[in-house]
Amino acid sequence: MSGVRDDVIGAPCWTDLGTSDLAKAVHFYTELFGWQADRGDEDLAGGYVTFRSGGARVAGAVQYDASAHAPDAWNVYLRTDDADTTHERIAEAGGVNTAGPSEIGSTGVAGLAEDVGGAQVGYWEPDAFAGFTELAEPGEAAWFELYTRDFERAVEFYERAFDWHTERIGDDDVFRYAVLSDGGERLAGIMDASRWMPHEIPSHWEVYFDTADVDAAVGRVEELGGTVLAQPEASTQGRTAWVTDPTGASFRLIDPRTIEPHDGDPVDADSQRASGEGMPEVE
């Protein structure tokens, strides 16, 4: 798990929640993580909320247009130094551009696309707003992971569209995983989820939020109206759980201070998740 790397093209630089109920989402996440909701950007994109933790910008949220019929979800934005070129390269790599690139005031240029497996991914060319100011502390994003049913094509897509330099850290039927690597530092991952992810869940990006007590946080998720998809379990990167907010947007909780070592290579998604432990089997 890494700190902020705003010098790496293709690295995750921001995450925001597209939600069908902004008020409910703000209540849920501020209560769960102790975030503060900055509503200073309400004239931006129909009412943008920036979440802060201890003063650091950690995430955003925006109300979806109900007519779009979009699922509630966390979006991951990858850094680019030229949004127009990224727009072109996404199409050349087999993706579908769905929005933008558009100037967002003086903050930067944003775009959204679907990768070759149908997962939504954003890109961001920063100007006044660079993205995260901190990562991997309690209440902050700690890891970003694509769950895909088309692993080889997905890896090729991110290499071509976003200049990813990938490292394979598992490549068999049980555990197939690649990471965006820069100078030995791992910044994001691609998981082959074809064997274990239920058919009704599409390929998508997952955000892991650092949590000081995963078990307590899972209990709080349920109290606040969220759902537990996978109960807390030990992993090589810390105790993790998979949950949703009250409107169905999924995310992961992780406490990297509770690492359970094993004999294999420590990775940011271990073979327990790769094999679908805690998840229903695909029929």
- State pLDDT tens for residues 153-190: 999 999 999 999 999 988 887 789 999 988 778 899 99
Handedness of CA 250, 255, 259, 260 (dihedral sign): negative
- Under the banding of pLDDT at 50, 70 and 90, the label for residue 274 is very low
d(CA 157, CA 163): 9
Angle at 160 between CA 158 and CA 162, to 5 degrees: 55
Q: Where are the alpha helices (DSSP H) in 163-231?
A: 214-223
Q: Which two tokens stand for residue 175?
A: 């555990």
Q: Say how far residue 133 (Cα) sits from the centre of its chain.
A: 16
- Euclidean distance between the first and final Cα of the chain, in Å? 33
Is the pLDDT at 266 greater than 80? The verdict is no
Is the pLDDT at 76 greater than 70? The verdict is yes
More confident residue, 19 or 69: 19
- Under the banding of pLDDT at 50, 70 and 90, the label for residue 5 is low
Strand-pairing partners, residue 59, are 51
**From residue 278, how far is each of 23, 141, 169, 266 by CA, in Å?**
31, 23, 22, 20
Q: 90: helix, coil or strand?
A: helix
- State pLDDT tens for residues 85-116: 999 999 999 999 999 899 998 999 999 999 99
Note if the pTM is more than 0.85. yes
Mean pLDDT of 235-243: 92
CB atoms closer than 10 angstroms to residue 220? 18
Q: Which CATH superfamily is domain 12-126 in?
A: 2,3-Dihydroxybiphenyl 1,2-Dioxygenase, domain 1 (3.10.180.10)
Is the pLDDT at 135 greater than 70? The verdict is yes
d(CA 32, CA 9): 32
Which residue do the tokens 């993706």 mark?
Answer: 95
The domain locations on the chain are: 12-126, 141-274
- Answer yes or no: are the C-beta atoms of 19 and 124 closer than 8 Å: no
d(CA 217, CA 250): 14
Domain 12-126 and domain 141-274, same fold? Reply is yes
- Under the banding of pLDDT at 50, 70 and 90, the label for residue 6 is low
- State pLDDT tens for residues 195-214: 988 888 899 999 999 999 99
Q: Which CATH class is domain 141-274?
A: alpha beta
Beta strands in 105-203 (DSSP E): 108-114, 120-126, 141-148, 166-171, 176-182, 185-192
Indicate the pairing of strand 56-63 with strand 73-79: unpaired
What pLDDT was estimated at residue 68? 67
What pLDDT was estimated at residue 53? 93
